[in-house]
Amino acid sequence: MARLVDDARVFVGRLAGREDAALRARPEPDVWSPLEYACHVRDMLNVQRDRVELVARTETPELTPMGRDERVVEDRYNEQDPAVVTAAVVDAAGALAAALQAIDDAGWRRTAIYTYPERAVRSVEWIGTHTVHELEHHSDDVGRDRTVGTTDRH
């Protein structure tokens, strides 16, 4: 799971050196700023860690949506300190990687009900793989200096 931490560092590196105003600028009203995007990645990593830990102690729990769109407003993503957020992205990746490294073979096969994009039973292995994919995808978006609209939910 070192890959998860390495990918988080790449993501953070793609934000480094940008002016504060550029980090907070929304290209369009319905498109997140790079800082809002970084906050989402931090929270996504923390939510995935919480989900993995829940699956370890609960038989096939239903995983509630993380409320990604609500968090942007409620947690005032665009008002947060970029240095704190980017450090937290790497910390969150490390915490998730540690949780995944602690799983034994049977734990990787434990399941939960994932409710997005459609209701499906997913294994911890899928959750880990999906999270790496999402982090890499988001890193590519930010690296191309492209942000994703709030309706893009892959």
Segment 47-86, tens digit of pLDDT? 999 999 999 999 999 999 999 999 999 999 999 999 999 9
Q: Which residues of 6-40 are buried (b: 16+ CB within 10 A; e: fewer)?
A: ebbeebbebbeebeeeebbeeeeeebbbbbbbbbb
Q: Which of 14, 114, 30, 13 is nearest to 72 (CA)?
A: 30
Q: What angle do CA 37, 52, 41 make, to 5 degrees?
A: 5
- pTM of the shown model: 0.91
For residue 63, the SS3 value is strand
Q: pLDDT tens digits, residue range 110-134?
A: 999 999 888 999 999 999 999 999 9
Look up the CATH architecture of domain 2-143.
Up-down Bundle (1.20)
d(CA 71, CA 145): 22
